[in-house]
């Protein structure tokens, strides 16, 4: 600066904002065109391709807006004897924690208005996670809501042991390109109404 004054701070640019907007539009279109069968088909593919017979701890998400419904998947997993968990964003810029969900668990309103199990529900670490996405790339890169929650969560869980992160959404959420940052954690697979796929190479 010529007069020695401090320059104004640069705006905190979200390079992915335009891509999130486009992804949300594609998802809204898919949800509107869906007669309600996509979630059931996707649940079937998820179980066929990724869920073993042995009981596991599996994290789902409580769908909001146009996110693909997890109700069928939830019901099938519980019926098969698996433990279902739901994510809780306890604080910003921190990993999610997971609390057990059972059919009789009364959900309360969490951060961003997303329903979560109450503090009385036992906390547990998932072995498989159905991850909500705005968009997913062919190489497994994930575009999310922008909180960085799943990136931090997967980094932590993967450092601790084996965990399978499977994106769950409409086929229309597959995107050719969006930017990827060094902190972005890639998915191990993606499941939609069209089927299940595994991403072999994760950076
Ligand atoms: N169903 C669901 N549960 C989830 C997530 C998710 O994406 N979907 N999360 C994934 O990380 C975590 C919560 N993270 C979130 C991060 C940011 C915003 C957010 O920016 N919400 C905006 C509205 C977004 C919009 O609809 O345009 C807001 O509340 O202002 C929401 C959730 C954990 N639980
Ligand atoms: N492991 C990390 N360490 C530090 N900052 C991180 C980490 N992961 C993400 N962030 C920060 O979080 C913010 C959001 O990241 P990003 O846009 O990738 O979120 P997202 O994966 O789309 O969101 P979400 O997982 O909540 O759906 C970025 O500003 C990024 O710098």
Q: Atom 11, ligand 1: which residue's CA is nearest?
A: 149
Q: How far is 162 from 99, CA to CA, in rounded Å?
A: 19
Q: Are 38 and 192 in contact (CB under 8 A)?
A: yes
For the Cβ of 150 lying below 6 angstroms from any atom of ligand 1, the answer is yes
Ordered per-residue pLDDT tens for the chain, 203 residues: 456 677 776 655 678 999 999 999 999 999 999 999 999 999 999 999 999 999 999 999 999 999 999 999 999 999 999 999 999 999 999 999 999 999 999 999 999 999 999 999 999 999 999 999 999 999 999 999 999 999 999 999 999 999 999 999 999 999 999 999 999 999 999 999 999 999 986 55
Is the CB of 95 within 6 Å of ligand 2? Answer: no
Residue positions forming the annotated binding site: 16-20, 67, 142-150
| The predicted structure's pLDDT at residue 185 | 97
Q: Is the CB of 16 under 6 A from ligand 2?
A: yes
Check pocket membership of 186 for ligand 2, CB cut-off 6 A.
no
Ligand number nearest CA of 93 is 2
Task: Measure the N-to-C terminal CA separation of the chain; round to a whole number of Å.
Answer: 41
Return binding residues for ATP.
Answer: 16-20, 142-150
Which residue's entry shows tokens 């595994």? 198
Q: Which of 18, 97, 147, 151 to mutate to test the pocket of ligand 1 (most atoms within 8 A of CB)?
A: 147
What's the pLDDT score for residue 4? Answer: 63
DSSP the chain: -TT-PPPPPPP---TTHHHHHHHHHHHHHHHHH--S-HHHHHHHHHHHHH--SS--EEE-----TTSPP-HHHHHHHHHTTPEEEEEE--STTS--EEEEE-TTPPPEE-GGG-EE--TTSPB---SEEEEE-SEE-TTS-EE-SSS-HHHHHHHHHHHHS--EEEEE--GGGB-S-----TTPPPPSEEEETTEEEE-----
Residue 199 structure tokens: 């991403």
Q: What is the ipTM of this complex?
A: 0.89
CA distances 20 to 11, 40, 122, 124, 179, Å, are 18, 25, 33, 30, 11
Ordered domains of the chain (ranges, CATH): 12-197 (3.40.50.10420)
How confident is the model at residue 2, as a pLDDT? 54
Q: Is the CB of 67 under 6 A from ligand 1?
A: yes
Residue 147 near ligand 1, beta carbon < 6 Å:
yes
pTM: 0.92
Report how far residue 60's alpha carbon sits from residue 102's, in angstroms, rounded to the nearest whole number: 12
């Amino acid at each position: 600066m010529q007069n020695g004054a401090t320059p104004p701070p640069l705006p905190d640019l979200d390079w992915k904002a335009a891509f999130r907007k486009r992804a949300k539009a594609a998802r809204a279109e898919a949800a509107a065109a869906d007669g309600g069968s996509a979630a059931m088909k996707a649940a079937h593919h998820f179980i066929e391709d990724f869920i073993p017979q042995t009981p596991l701890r599996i994290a789902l998400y409580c769908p909001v807006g146009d996110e693909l419904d997890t109700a069928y998947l939830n019901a099938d997993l519980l019926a098969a004897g698996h433990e279902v968990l739901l994510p809780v964003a306890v604080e910003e810029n921190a990993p999610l924690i997971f609390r057990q969900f059972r059919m009789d668990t009364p959900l309360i309103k969490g951060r961003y208005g997303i329903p979560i199990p109450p503090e009385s529900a036992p906390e547990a670490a998932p072995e498989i996670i159905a991850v909500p996405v705005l968009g997913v790339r062919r190489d497994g890169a994930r575009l999310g809501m922008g909180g960085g929650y799943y990136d931090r969560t997967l980094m932590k869980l993967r450092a601790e042991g084996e965990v399978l992160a499977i994106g769950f959404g409409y086929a229309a959420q597959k995107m050719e390109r969006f930017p990827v940052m060094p902190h972005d954690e890639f998915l191990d697979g993606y499941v939609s109404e069209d089927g299940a796929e595994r991403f072999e190479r994760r950076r």
